[in-house]
Amino acid sequence: MTGMKLKAALLVILASIAPAAAWDGTSIHNCTWCHGTSGQGYTVAPRLAGQRPAYVESQIRSFRDHSRDNPFSRQYMWGAVAALGPRAASDLAAYFATIHPKPANDGNPALTAKGKTIYMDGIPEANIASCYACHGPNAEGVRDIPRLGGLSYFYLKSRLVQWGQGYHSGMGTPMPVVARSLGPDEIEALASYISFVR
């Protein structure tokens, strides 16, 4: 689709969901002024475009119940979703899922080969799981397992480092254990590789 056609299609989608939705006073601009034009991500706020809607909804729930307690989550997201009801959350998630995600391409290109090997195969002798097994061959995610491909290097790295430090660990997901198995060099390589995946 061309940019214009896509924009027109999205406007139709927005127009069709807006009246049915309880927006709780929230418009898309309440999200995109941090998450960037078309939700492509901006500085510390990650890309939401193309993200799995079930994952976006689960994160909004965990910001609301404060179980996602990463420093920037506390600082920016607890307030941003405090008044967001489940209906508006699901409409926003559905909307972001329709936008084509652009890769950040901002990791260290020298580390991508190493990162790809760990992503695909894990490191069995170090008990490091393959990411592919859950996040898929192109890091596209499935259901509530997030798309990782093309997220920014900085964001990917801080998520993995912060799980290792114990943040966001009360949810019963596999990631705290997976992230704690990774050393700093593995995290560098994975975040670099994944930032280029489209």
Cα gap 164→158, rounded to integer Å: 10
DSSP lists the bridge partners of residue 123 as: 128
C-alpha distances out from residue 129 to 99, 145, 179, Å: 30, 15, 10
Q: Verify binding: residue 56, ligand HEC, rule CB under 6 A.
A: yes
Interface with ligand HEC by CB under 6 A: which range of 7-15, 17-25, 98-106, 143-151? 143-151
Question: Both tokens of residue 58?
Answer: 């689960």
Cβ proximity to ligand HEC: between 1 and 126 the closer is 126
> How many residues at the interface with ligand HEC, by CB under 6 A?
40
Cα gap 176→70, rounded to integer Å: 13
The answer to whether the beta carbons of residues 99 and 10 sit under 8 Å apart is yes
Question: Both tokens of residue 184?
Answer: 């700093």
Map residues 92-131 to x or -, x wherever contact with ligand HEC holds by CB under 6 A: x------------------------------------x-x
Q: Verify binding: residue 45, ligand HEC, rule CB under 6 A.
A: yes
Quick check: helix, strand or coil at residue 34? helix
Query: What values do phi and psi take at 123, rounded to 5?
Result: -130, 90
Q: Verify binding: residue 189, ligand HEC, rule CB under 6 A.
A: no
Cα gap 124→121, rounded to integer Å: 8
Cβ proximity to ligand HEC: between 1 and 27 the closer is 27
Interface with ligand HEC by CB under 6 A: which range of 7-15, 17-25, 43-51, 99-107? 43-51
Q: Which residues would be at the binding site for ligand HEC (CB under 6 A)?
A: 26, 30-31, 34-35, 44-46, 48, 56, 58-60, 70, 72-73, 76-77, 80-81, 84, 92, 129, 131, 133-135, 145-146, 148, 151, 156, 159-160, 171, 173-175, 178, 190
